[in-house]
Structure 1
Amino acid sequence: MPFPKVVYYISGHGYGHAVRSIQIINELIKLGCKVIIKTTTPVFLFKEGLSRPVEILFEGFDVGLEQIDNIRFDLEKTKKSVIKLLASAEERIRKEQKFFSDQGISGIVCDIPFIPLAAAGRLGLPSVGISNFSWDWIYAHYGKWDPEWYSLSEAIRGYYREGDLLLRLPFYGKMEAFRRIEDIPLVTRRSEKEKDRIRLALDLPQDRKIGLVGFSQVELHDQGAKKIEQLSSEYLFLIRPPLNLESNIFRKVEGGEFSFIDLVCAADLVITKAGYGIVADCLSHGTPMIYSDRGEFPEYPILVEGIKSHLSCCYMPKEDLYSGNWESYLERLSSQPRIQPEIRTDGAQVAARRILEWMEIRKGP
């Protein structure tokens, strides 16, 4: 199939969907695909990660969760947004079908919006979902508190059923809506720079451990930063915008020569939430992790099992994260031997090849 044209739909919930999608898109580009991205994820992630510029259309096709910050979310606000999205689903399906026709689209990939899968399915256009969870499974979890979530979940499941193929990532939840499921290895990224060179170029101290605070937004309590600052003789913590923490123990590293994945490579440890993107980043470099909880999010316990199986790690309750009570967790992590993960990380290459194979199969003779 000469130079297929693919629309790649990416959830705007967090950065993990985009980070892994970028790796697959880079592989699709290598294989001769023209890719159009539709997402609400901030553009800087694509500028930083894509091997070459592609067309990006700022348009969202799922809600995810309405976040208060990187850890907390507003479930009632999320439900209202999901109801609104479902009310517009059929109209948006027709709009996407016209887009496919006008643009001469060969097939679509979704991580993991449901509306485009239905749009492609009804046209007989090849479609591939890629994820470790689907939103019907996430939302059904909240039905035990509010039964309306069950009906919303079932409506979403119906749209997922219209997709062709799911490439299922490791650390997955129940994804029963998909008619055909194939497992693929972890999709991740690696720094192309050496750890020592990064640390030297950033003029990082050799007599202190280097931590990376892997949040884009976290609000420390009034005395939190002062408590953390008491650790300054032993630690220096790197942060990236838009996170802004005022203390000499934090050093802000702007974009430019060094990307976020370079900082993961350079760090002795990462403090973060248990999200798929940062877990994959740490797994690809063997970087130890202190992780905090995410409230009632059903992906969380599955990711925690993956973290415990493959990384040096310890858990920090979010109350201690916000209050700056970090010392005991840092000591606990330091007492552990560093584990070198043994897990396949070539999922991007596997996924890209399978996407093109599937489009060729569905195209027929």
Structure 2
Amino acid sequence: MTFRLLVALSPHGFGHAAMTLPIINKIKEMVPGVDLTLYSSLPRSLLASRLSYGFEYIDGIDDFGLVMTSATRIDLDATARAYNLRHLDWQNRLEAEVARLEKARPDLILANVPYLTLAAAKALGIPAIALSSLNWYDLYRAYLGDRPEADQVLERILVSHGGASKFLKFAPCLPMEALARVTELVPLGPSARLGLKDPKGLRSKLEVPASERLGVIAYGGVAQRLPVEDWPVMAGWTWLVPADWGVKRADFRPFEGAGMSFPDLLASSDLVITKPGYGTYTEAACNGVAVLAQERPDWPESAPFDLWMKEHARYLSLPEGRIRKGRIQDEVEHLATCNAPECPHPTGIVEAAIIILKDIKKLQKWL
């Protein structure tokens, strides 16, 4: 009998997919017979580009996380309204989610980390495992915990996480002490894709000198464009940006012109400019690429991310205004020339796959 695994992914940026799909690839490599369904609102093409195996896709997951106005700015009032509407209509939404899961008929659910899906799994008695570096309970509490309705919303989010038998926490991550009341917390190493390093080939494809340093500007899955046309020219540097930015400068090139996957592009570059975010941080660190980050003091993950990056990567952060104006040359040169620590290994991939496969084997005995 085929084992049906459903993977529910929050569409809030690309980080949830970035940390989860390497584990799914590893599971399928170890047990090819597992039947895979992905459930999200992320573009199917994005998911397919990160998976080495076929999958069924269910679009339209009921999860939003936070309402963003940019890659780093949250619309707090709109987020509060969205949570209020969701929880006022909770029973109807839960029943709709139950119906979706009944139709999909999974034997096990992995959730990163839509709590409505976990609540529906609990209602149906479907085994579930949560996995992530964050959770919406801690983020809601950080941004909206002083609102009159907060206690009721937080309690429901917390109880919903009880639908997971365990929560796999990928380093670096939030502490998540509150979730320990409803599920088992399992700390793991990082999850990140390793790229193929080909700095010579990348420079050849971009038609830049072999001695040129390459910097990638990547702000993750929530679009944000920097006014790079106003940046000063930095001698010896070429910058890689999304093609849809439409930058017309000799020292800028589109990602797409390299003809490489993003992990290979990143691994073959010298530095990435980004915001605090799980996927880019861990992929840069594990591939030995320097990171210049835009400071984001309000983001709950910033503190644990900052500590981990300082230990495992060449890493500096600057205020948003400095980066937007391109006043970064001293920091960029320092990062390009300073000694690099030993690259961390993405041990969380195998660690998570082994834990999940143990549950699959136990469940197969009862199917």
TM-score (norm 2): 0.90
Within 2, Cα distance between the matches of 1:256 and 1:328?
Answer: 27
**2:329 matched residue in structure 1:** 327
Matched to 1:348, the amino acid is I
Q: Deviations over 1:94-113 (max 9, x none)?
A: 23333333333101010011
Within 1, Cα distance between the matches of 2:204 and 2:219?
Answer: 24
Within 2, Cα distance between the matches of 1:245 and 1:295?
Answer: 29
**2:278 matched residue in structure 1:** 276
**1:121 matched residue in structure 2:** 122
Secondary structure in 1 matching 2:339: coil
Structure 1 runs not aligned, ≥5 long: none
Within 2, Cα distance between the matches of 1:244 and 1:263?
Answer: 19
**2:357 matched residue in structure 1:** 356
Change (3 A) 1:220 1:103: closer
Within 1, Cα distance between the matches of 2:66 and 2:297?
Answer: 12
**1:59 matched residue in structure 2:** 60
Q: Is the 8 A contact 1:139 1:150 kept in 2?
A: no
Q: Any residues of structure 2 matched to 1:219-298 within 5 Å, and which?
A: 219-221=225-227, 225-228=229-232, 230-231=233-234, 233-254=235-256, 257-298=259-300
Q: Is the 8 A contact 2:191 2:282 kept in 1?
A: yes
**1:218 matched residue in structure 2:** 224
Between 206-215 and 184-193, the greater mean CA deviation after superposition = 184-193
Between 282-291 and 38-47, the greater mean CA deviation after superposition = 38-47
Secondary structure in 2 matching 1:198: helix
Q: Deviations over 1:48-94 (max 9, x none)?
A: 21102312222123222212221222111111122222234332332
Change (3 A) 1:259 1:88: farther
Alignment RMSD (CA, Å): 2.3
Secondary structure in 2 matching 1:211: strand
Change (3 A) 1:102 1:146: closer
**1:179 matched residue in structure 2:** 183
Aligned-residue offset at 1:279? 0.8
Secondary structure in 2 matching 1:3: coil
Within 2, Cα distance between the matches of 1:130 and 1:242?
Answer: 32
**1:198 matched residue in structure 2:** 202
Q: Is the 8 A contact 2:200 2:210 kept in 1?
A: no
**1:36 matched residue in structure 2:** 37
Change (3 A) 1:247 1:145: farther
Within 1, Cα distance between the matches of 2:160 and 2:183?
Answer: 12
Secondary structure in 1 matching 2:66: coil
Between 164-173 and 124-133, the greater mean CA deviation after superposition = 164-173
Change (3 A) 1:209 1:256: closer
Matched to 2:300, the amino acid is P
Q: Is the 8 A contact 1:220 1:324 kept in 2?
A: no
Aligned-residue offset at 1:362? 5.3
Change (3 A) 1:61 1:355: farther
Within 1, Cα distance between the matches of 2:126 and 2:11?
Answer: 24
**1:132 matched residue in structure 2:** 133
**1:20 matched residue in structure 2:** 19
Q: Deviations over 1:203-258 (max 9, x none)?
A: 3322321100012533445xx52333x21x32100113444444332100228841
**1:302 matched residue in structure 2:** 304
Between 143-152 and 30-39, the greater mean CA deviation after superposition = 143-152
Number of matched residues? 359
Within 1, Cα distance between the matches of 2:126 and 2:283?
Answer: 33
Within 2, Cα distance between the matches of 1:149 and 1:323?
Answer: 38
Q: Is the 8 A contact 1:10 1:18 kept in 2?
A: yes
Q: Is the 8 A contact 1:293 1:317 kept in 2?
A: yes
1:345 aligned to 2:346? Answer: yes
Matched to 1:197, the amino acid is G
Change (3 A) 1:326 1:147: farther
Within 1, Cα distance between the matches of 2:347 and 2:243?
Answer: 29
Between 205-214 and 54-63, the greater mean CA deviation after superposition = 54-63
Matched to 1:25, the amino acid is I
Secondary structure in 2 matching 1:109: strand
Within 2, Cα distance between the matches of 1:354 and 1:337?
Answer: 36
